[in-house]
Amino acid sequence: MRQILIPAFVLLSSLGAGVSFADGPAPRIEESGEFLELEFQVNGQRSKGSLPLYRAEAVRYFSAGVGIEERSAEYPPFSLKLVFTAGGKPFLAGVAVTIQPAKGGPAINIPQEQVNGPWLFVDLPSGTYHVTAIHANRTQGLKAVKLEAGKTKTVHLRWAED
């Protein structure tokens, strides 16, 4: 499943020399309907991009972290940030995630097709959750991830190298 690893990381890193944040504020993502808008400077000109904002019941989530623009952006204060890596590789995409409230209730299922970057931000209410992530038919799990209102908890999930 090496094709799931983000080859664009190398390409975007090589193009990063033309990206500048000195001419204006750091990139910021603002909510706009079903997308998050990303503004950044490239060779002195302002550019825009967007990231899809998904929903599972009342829970919103989005995937990011590809390229210097996304890694430098300021994101909305979603309570959970998952970071996916494998072995010596910098990042993974295409990870399926299930989040289950520890006290019971419906699980949030995020399909791998909606995780296009190595970061997954999930806007969950305060509470304790169990997280299961699957990549290349291998599972990583975390029990009792405690989330607090107004704070983003970052959790790293690493798979052994293929």
Q: In this structure, are residues 131 and 141 in contact, taking their beta carbons and an 8 Å threshold?
A: yes
Query: What pLDDT shows up at residue 26?
Result: 53
Helix, strand or coil for residue 9?
helix
Question: CA–CA separation, 103 vs 154, rounded Å?
Answer: 21
- Which domains occur in the chain, in start order? 2-159 (2.60.40.10)
Question: CA–CA separation, 13 vs 11, rounded Å?
Answer: 5
Segment 8-15 shows an average pLDDT of: 34
Question: CA–CA separation, 36 vs 29, rounded Å?
Answer: 6
pLDDT reading at 27 higher than 70: no
Tell me phi and psi for residue 78, to 5 degrees: -70, 145
pLDDT band of residue 32 (cuts 50, 70, 90) is: low
pLDDT reading at 89 higher than 80: no
Global pTM value: 0.80
Average pLDDT over all residues of the chain: 81
pLDDT band of residue 132 (cuts 50, 70, 90) is: very high
- Per the model's pLDDT, the better-predicted residue between 153 and 11 turns out to be 153
Query: What pLDDT shows up at residue 142?
Result: 93
Segment 75-89 shows an average pLDDT of: 89
Look up tokens 């959750």; give the residue: 129
Write out the DSSP string of 54-116: EEETTEEEEEE--HHHHHH-B----SEEEEEEETTBS-B---EEEEEETT--PPEEE-GGG--
pLDDT band of residue 49 (cuts 50, 70, 90) is: confident
Question: CA–CA separation, 61 vs 138, rounded Å?
Answer: 23
What the block records as the tokens of 59 is: 């829970």
